[in-house]
Amino acid sequence: MEEHIRTVVDFLNQWGWIPMLIVYVGVIVTILIENRNPTKTISWVLVIVFLPFLGLILYYLFGQKFSRVQKLKKINQEQASKLTREFKRLEPKMELSLQNIQERIGDFSRVYAYLKNERLSTPTLTNEVKLLVNGEEKFPIFLDDLEQAQHSIHLEYYIFDLDEIGKKVLDVLERKAEQGVRVRVIVDSFGSPKLVRSMRKNKTTKIEFQAFLPVTFSSLANSNYRNHRKIAVIDGKVCYIGGINISDRYINPNSFGLYWRDTSVRIVGSIGTMFQISFWNSWNQTDGESFSLDGGYLHTHFPQVERDTAVALASSDPGSIGPFNMEALLISIGEANRSIKLCSPYFIPTDQLATALKSAAAAGVEVELMIPSRGDSWIVQHASLSFLKPLLERGVKVYLYDKGFLHAKTSVIDGQIAYVGTMNLDIRSFYINYEVSAVISNEAFCLQLDQQFDLDKKDSILITLDEWSKRKTWKRGVDSVCRLLAPLL
């Protein structure tokens, strides 16, 4: 027996490189024939070549275009076909809304036309919006809205922790479900593992609960695709969207000892229909029992508002035919004449976004970007820093938020149009995650975002090109190495 084992070991030592070479060549050929972005292709080839074994594992977990993506594309096509008739029915009304929006904000209205033409969202006008800064502003109002629910509560969150605020929200949901309100909750299985385990054990709850893209050993490779959305729809008319998850971490002060700077928005009005459709699309991609939107979920009567606010939703996912969230933002950046103010916790821009920002700054637009001075991911933070020098050289003003962790995902352009949602300014948000943003046109709201940006600048460090060029060589080297992984992050 021992002699047989030695024979096998000797054979592997002498010839084992052959099957490994076949595996390596096969993986590299697979990467090449997938026709992915050239930069991403080169990055994966380098990872596989220079990180033996580990590179193959990383590629298996995060690199392959699994059949899941094809399935997601098929689901998107099926969902879109179901909505085509509704979009056609609403076509005259949407055209009137677009004319109204164009009269107010001129060429910025092109983004609403884009979202309509891509069948992503109808442009809506009868809305009221309220800016909510940090969890301490959001959660008291959010809990009260949940308590007032009469028909349905739909929540879709990346992180739903079982901490103090999480338990408060869960208690309200349980109570409302007992009262007959239809409560449906989707959480990302990777972002909310404790809640997923807890709800699976709870056999008495009346909450309809689903974990999105469950992570198991057999589906481990698909864990790369995450539902990063954070939305709530109450009775089809009260909606929340932004960067704030359901967790104590987002409320200041907190036990983590870290000031958390984030943004959410409460919207009441006709955009609730698009929020419901967005949730319905996500629900249909889980194992949850399907439901008809005609069952009272689409609110149709809204009170008159003092000043109409244009709102539409920009959404994208791994099955999208294009990076819709990024494209919607690029349309507005291209129309900017005065100012562009962007907040993002992670900044790994595509070439298109980086070029748009540099071109705008070079054309005389005041372009300001705010990112954290200290990120929650060492590699991503250093990769982000590597992208700053070319922006500074073209006149973009870059601020490093230093009071705590900046997690807000907002953009405001010319004080005319704003984006608040779940999308980071990185490749993952543009192409891999499930993301959604509210596109809002309201001068008062945009002014609030502008003012908040200016307040945050007081807690930030303005980078100058001269200072940045003098950074220690080893720091710049670390940034550059991490940047090699940027297309993979």
Catalytic residues: 228, 230, 235, 407, 409, 414
Q: Residue 191 has what DSSP assignment?
A: T
Contacts of 1 (CB under 8 A, 6+ apart): none
Cβ atoms < 10 Å from Cβ of 306:
7
Cβ atoms < 10 Å from Cβ of 90:
15
Label residue 281 left, alpha or beta by phi (over 0 means left) and psi (-120 to 50 means alpha): alpha
Token readout for 378 is 């060492």
Token readout for 88 is 């056609």
- Is residue 384 within 8 Å of residue 371, measured between CB atoms? yes
Following DSSP, what letter does each residue of 347-388 receive, concatenated? EE--HHHHHHHHHHHHTT-EEEEEEESS-S-HHHHHHHHTTH
As a whole number of angstroms, the distance between CA 195 and CA 175 comes to 17
Q: Is 340 helix (H, G, I), strand (E, B) or coil?
A: strand
**Rg value, the chain, Cα:** 24
Token readout for 292 is 């008809």
Query: Within 13 Å and on the Cβ side, how many CA atoms surround 164?
Result: 8
Q: Is 120 helix (H, G, I), strand (E, B) or coil?
A: coil
Chain mean position to CA 328: 14
DSSP E strands: which ranges in 6-161? Answer: 127-133, 152-157
Chain mean position to CA 153: 21
Kindly state the helix (H) or strand (E) to which residue 315 belongs, with its residue range.
strand 310-316
Question: Which amino acid would we find at residue 418?
Answer: A
Compute the 3-state secondary structure of the chain and give helix, strand, coil in percent, each to the nearest 5. 50, 20, 30
Cβ atoms < 10 Å from Cβ of 38:
9
Cβ atoms < 10 Å from Cβ of 95:
13
As a whole number of angstroms, the distance between CA 230 and CA 354 comes to 26
As a whole number of angstroms, the distance between CA 187 and CA 212 comes to 6
DSSP E strands: which ranges in 63-216? Answer: 127-133, 152-157, 182-188, 208-212
